[in-house]
Chains A and B, each alone.
Chain A
Amino acid sequence: MLNRLVRWSRIKSPWILHLNSGACNACDIEVVAALTPRFDVERLGVLLKATPRHADVLISTGPVTRQMKDRIIRIYDQTPDPKFVIAVGACAMSGCVYRGAYNVMGGLDQVIPVNVYVPGCPARPDAILDGVVKLLGKL
């Protein structure tokens, strides 16, 4: 019974943490633009939090650079269970144009397990919202 209540609250209002691991900022500005009055994601209950300890969903952009690799793993460990990871943008999926560079790991799934991939360069805010909704549908 308590489990159903908790699961309902998690679906109705996921709190997200935004993580940038070496990106060019285009996807990040689109994530922030999703909060602005045109797309307005807060009406769906999604709140942008500051610390991984409060977050349910990690939204990450950018190809992972070697310097950021350990920090991302640390932040992933700090997020309490159950947690979900969304990889936004072509860079987080496979490295986009930076595939083969010496400082880039080549996609987020080389470092932490990923649940949803949102393509685009950069991914539009509506596509990011679509990704979040599809994730909630799987819960």
Chain B
Amino acid sequence: MKFSIPIGPQHPALKEPISLRMTVEGEVIRDADIRLGYNHRGLEKLAEEKTWIQNIYLTERICGICSHSHATCYVQGVEKLMDIVPPKRGLYLRFLVAELERVHSHLLWLGVAGHEAGFDTFFMYTWRDREIVMDMLEAISGNRVHYAINTLGGVRRDLDEGLRQKILSQLDILRRRTEFYIKIGANEPTFVGRLAGVGKLSKEKAMELCAVGPMARASDIARDVRRDDPYGIYAETPFEVSTADTCDVLGRVVVRVKELFQCYNLIEFMLKNLPSGEVKVKAPRRAKPGEVVSRYEAPRGENMHYIVSGGADKPERLKVRAPTLANYPATVEMLKNGFIADIPLIFAAIDPCICCAERTVETVDLRTGEEKVLRFSELRTLAQERFDKNPRKGTGLWPF
């Protein structure tokens, strides 16, 4: 007997309106469907009416968590069209902010994963440490989010010596705290058992559905734009791709924690080897006609911008492909044959940045045909109750 469950656009879980409709048989999900469009703001049409510099601020506001990644991807592409090369110090500062943004995004996600699994203390700890990173970003750029530090030809502000030493010292605190989280996370058998075996996505399915980011890397596909197609300074910095092979939510947590350590190493390298010199070069007003494809590794996966220029001071076409949209068919695949109790966790595991795509979950009772709109938090409490009633003893070990 199949039911269909919708979960509505408004939920306190990850603050974004999304619409999922799942067909359910007992406790097991048979099919899932996502309705996008609540967050569609018509950006690509708007970008054709603004100049190259105004578009930097527009692309920043595509997403609030990965705002620097969209802005950097765009600026990289336009710099190639205009044939200008930013100076080394500017590049180092740009990617320093990019790695700090990756740290803050992964800490945010760890907190959300803890919250969805019921471990609220973990949520509060990681968000408290995230504030350290936000303070550093505010000192560098002036704002906690949407640091408009990119400009065509480099960065807008410079870093002085005192700030550089301060960031190095804060990095030690962050390293110690992350090691503490691994200790409590790995030694907490209920937490590990809750995450193991949930949301399985095999390697073949991930390749067929073109999954990106930590989702693909947790299924043992070593794909990372920083290594495949090095842009900026990643060709000369020490960097390894982190993968895991458990193909479930626990693997995704492991991949993100490993990436956090990579980020700390990269930030330390960049701060210790910061070259001196100018931070920007002057950019022309018009761009030469042509087209460019710009790729960037955002915290959630690969970000791609395709820009066409007709020789004017406005772009002819700007196409943005955000990573969460690519992970959506893989999410549908993961939800099949899962349990209702796992929906919030699977959904949080793809790290939904739904400003790129919005959904709500609606439940439609197939037996009676009535429609009930469940808030995501109601779904979460429902999930936790059902899990407490019949707990599954997962045999997951922290594979470090």
Q: Are B146 and A23 in contact, CB atoms less than 8 angstroms apart?
A: no
A13 interface contact, C-beta 8 A = no
A119 interface contact, C-beta 8 A = no
Q: Do A96 and B61 contact each other (CB < 8 Å), given the known contacts A101-B43, A103-B42? A: yes
Q: Are B64 and A24 in contact, CB atoms less than 8 angstroms apart?
A: yes
Q: Are A25 and B124 in contact, CB atoms less than 8 angstroms apart?
A: no
Residues in B with CB closer than 8 Å to A28 are 15-16, 64
Q: Contact partner of B46 among A25, A36, A101, CB < 8 A? A: A101
Q: Contact string, B11-49, partner A, CB cutoff 8 A, digits 1/0?
A: 110011100000000000000000001111111011001
- Separation of A19 and B15 alpha carbons in the complex (Å): 7
Instruction: Report the minimum CB–CB distance from A14 to chain B (whole Å).
Output: 16
Q: Are B42 and A26 in contact, CB atoms less than 8 angstroms apart?
A: no
Q: In chain B, what residue has the closest Cβ to A18? A: B12
Q: Do A25 and B15 contact each other (CB < 8 Å), given the known contacts A38-B128, A50-B377, A67-B38? A: yes
Enumerate chain B interface residues (CB-CB to A < 8 A): 8-12, 15-17, 37-43, 45-46, 49, 57-58, 61-65, 67, 108, 124, 127-128, 130-131, 144-146, 353-355, 358, 375, 377-378
Q: Are A25 and B65 in contact, CB atoms less than 8 angstroms apart?
A: yes
* Majority secondary structure of chain A interface residues (helix, strand, loop or mixed): mixed
Residues in A with CB closer than 8 Å to B124 are 36-37
24 pairs of residues in contact across A and B, judged by CB atoms under 8 Å: A18-B12, A21-B17, A22-B355, A25-B16, A25-B64, A26-B64, A28-B16, A29-B145, A30-B144, A36-B128, A37-B124, A37-B128, A38-B128, A49-B12, A50-B12, A50-B378, A51-B378, A65-B38, A65-B39, A71-B17, A98-B42, A103-B40, A121-B146, A122-B145
Enumerate chain A interface residues (CB-CB to B < 8 A): 18-33, 36-38, 48-52, 63, 65, 67-68, 71, 75, 96-98, 100-104, 121-122, 124
Q: In chain A, what residue has the closest Cβ to B70? A: A24
Instruction: Report the minimum CB–CB distance from A13 to chain B (whole Å).
Output: 18
Q: Which of B39, B43, B57 has the most CB of A within 10 A?
A: B39
Minimum-distance CB pairs A-B, first 8? A26-B64, A28-B15, A101-B42, A50-B377, A25-B64, A36-B127, A26-B145, A103-B42
Q: Contact partner of A30 among B9, B49, B145, CB < 8 A? A: B145
- Separation of A75 and B38 alpha carbons in the complex (Å): 15
Residues in A with CB closer than 8 Å to B378 are 50-51
Q: Contact partner of B16 among A20, A37, A100, CB < 8 A? A: A20
Q: Are A18 and B15 in contact, CB atoms less than 8 angstroms apart?
A: yes
Number of interchain pairs (Cβ within 8 Å): 123
Residues in B with CB closer than 8 Å to A22 are 17, 38-41, 355, 358
Q: Which of B49, B64, B65, B378 has the most CB of A within 10 A?
A: B64
Residues in B with CB closer than 8 Å to A27 are 64
Instruction: Report the minimum CB–CB distance from B102 to chain A (whole Å).
Output: 15
Q: Are A122 and B64 in contact, CB atoms less than 8 angstroms apart?
A: yes
Instruction: Report the minimum CB–CB distance from B275 to chain A (whole Å).
Output: 32
Q: Are A23 and B355 in contact, CB atoms less than 8 angstroms apart?
A: yes
Residues in B with CB closer than 8 Å to A65 are 38-41
Instruction: Report the minimum CB–CB distance from A133 to chain B (whole Å).
Output: 21
Q: In chain B, what residue has the closest Cβ to A89? A: B64
Residues in B with CB closer than 8 Å to A32 are 15, 127
Q: Are A36 and B12 in contact, CB atoms less than 8 angstroms apart?
A: no
Instruction: Report the minimum CB–CB distance from B174 to chain A (whole Å).
Output: 15
19 further A-B contacts with Cβ under 8 Å, apart from A22-B358, A25-B15, are A22-B40, A23-B39, A25-B16, A25-B355, A26-B145, A28-B16, A29-B15, A30-B145, A32-B127, A33-B130, A38-B128, A48-B12, A50-B12, A51-B375, A65-B38, A65-B40, A68-B38, A98-B43, A121-B146
